[in-house]
Structure 1
Amino acid sequence: MAPCHCNCRAPISHLLLPSHPPPPSSKPSNPHPRSVNPPPSTSRTKNPSSRRLFLLAAAAAGAANVPHCRALEGFDPVSPEERSASAAKSRRIAEAVGLLEKGRELQAQGDFGKALFYFTQVIEGYKDFALSEYARVGRALALYEVGNREEAIAEMEDVSISLKGYPEVHAALAAALYVDKHAPLLAENQFTIATLLDPHYTDLSYVKETKHWPPSLVSSLRQFITLT
């Protein structure tokens, strides 16, 4: 049999290629892969001498502020004139309160003549204080007792406006309007205000023993309550 001279070798390219190519990857390749070793931080590459200079500058600034802080410790925002004015006003308030309390004490003792004097002192000497309005209430009650009822009622009417909502003056005005002015409707309006604010004013023993009203005004309130 004659030998076969045909070329039976497979092409090299056929041998190099796999019979079944691998499936394409689901993740696209990163054209710019992240560096494994990132460059060192710039904060670590700073010159150590700059840090020392910063610390020295901070220490120098703190030392420079020490005299300033000591000066602030001795600083007083209140001037001597303001301090003196405040002390003078405190003395005046204490004086006014003392006179008002003395008037109320004499009123409780039944000495309405002397009580009138002290209440008037508060009104005339300390009218710039709000407590002078309460002295006017005491003065009106004292005036009613000593016989000056017209002035007493005028005082009550005026204070009922400046101290609107103060039940005592509304109750006193109701009693006076009913007896001395024969104005039952006005008296009823004033008494309604008083008793809405403080129901105690329907009790005669309360105005006599607790509020220390003068006997004449207690009598007027009795007449109003009993409609006699």
Structure 2
Amino acid sequence: MGSYKAQIPHLHLLPPPNPNAKTLKPPLLSPGISTRRFLLFSLSSTCTLALVNAKLLHSGFMDALASSFDPLSQAEKDASSLVSRRVSEAVELLERGKELQAQGDFPKALQFFTSVVENYKDFAFSDYARVGRALALYEVGDRDEAIAEMEDVSISLKGYPEVHAALAAALYADKHAPLLAENQFAIATLLDPHFTDLSYVIETKHWPPSLVSSLQHFITLS
């Protein structure tokens, strides 16, 4: 018996199996639960994709609608185009008149200023052409009309210092009305004191020599 026990491995050292112990197995999902989760995931993905497609479709529709929508009729477009063209023409004539005035060519400047006044008087800026026209008229010798133009523009452009200064010079030199001239010059110099400087009206405002002379007489009370 002793030799037999020696030949058997040390089985007696291994613990006997516990009949009460349960073998651990990985949990298995119920087929019903797995199917339900798959359906919910598929449904969510489908809804998300449908929502994205709907947004893209709506965005494309709105872009197409915006690009095709035009609040202006063809008649309104034509009228707007006509106004824009007339404004460009008037501004070009006005600028050309100012260039000729700066060059000392007052007869030609008078033609451009008069063209603006006669053909584009429905535009507010035509009053500035009237100022240039009045200065040119004064230089070419039509002083009564020039003063009448200045008086009228001094009302429509009340607060525009140049026309008040020009009117002051003309009223003093040609109409012998020193009090009226003082009132006009007070308005002009209150708005822009530069008009007390003869070099300013010559070099910056490009006044004609005759009007510069009248302003000098007024300033020196001669």
TM-score interval, normalised by the smaller of the two chains:
0.7 to 0.9
Q: CA deviation at 1:89?
A: 1.6
Match of 2:139 among 145, 148, 173: 145
4+ residue stretches of structure 1 with deviation over 3 A?
50-68
Opposite residue 225 of structure 1, the aligned amino acid is I
Task: Tell me the residue number matched to 2:166.
Answer: 172
Residue 155 of structure 1: CA displacement? 0.5
Q: In the aligned structure 2, how far is the partner of 1:141 from the partner of 1:118?
A: 13
CA distance in 2, matches of 1:83, 1:183: 52
Cα separation, 1, equivalents of 2:214 and 2:56: 80
- Equivalence for 2:82: 88
2:153 to 156, 159, 167: 159
Q: How many residues align?
A: 182
1:195-214 aligned within 5 A: 195-214=189-208
Map residues 1-228 of structure 1 onto 2, 5 A cutoff. Answer: 62=55, 65=58, 68-77=61-70, 78-228=72-222
* Gaps in structure 1 of 5+ consecutive residues: 1-47
Aligned to 2:68, the other structure's residue is in SS state coil
Q: Specify the alignment match of 2:4 in structure 1.
A: none
CA distances 1:38-87 after superposition (whole Å, capped 9, x unpaired)? xxxxxxxxxx9x98998798578657646632531422423333333222
TM-score by length of structure 2 reads 0.73
Q: Aligned in 2, Cα 1:59/1:208: closer, same or farther, shift over 3 Å?
A: closer
Distance 1:66 1:115, change over 3 A: closer
Determine helix, strand or coil for the equivalent of 2:82: helix
Give the deviation of 1:131 after TM superposition. 1.3
| 1:164 alignment partner, SS class | coil
Instruction: Work out the CA distance in 2 between the residues paired with 1:102 and 1:53.
Output: 70
Mark the CA change 1:58 to 1:156 in structure 2 (over 3 Å): closer, same or farther: same
More helix, by proportion: 2
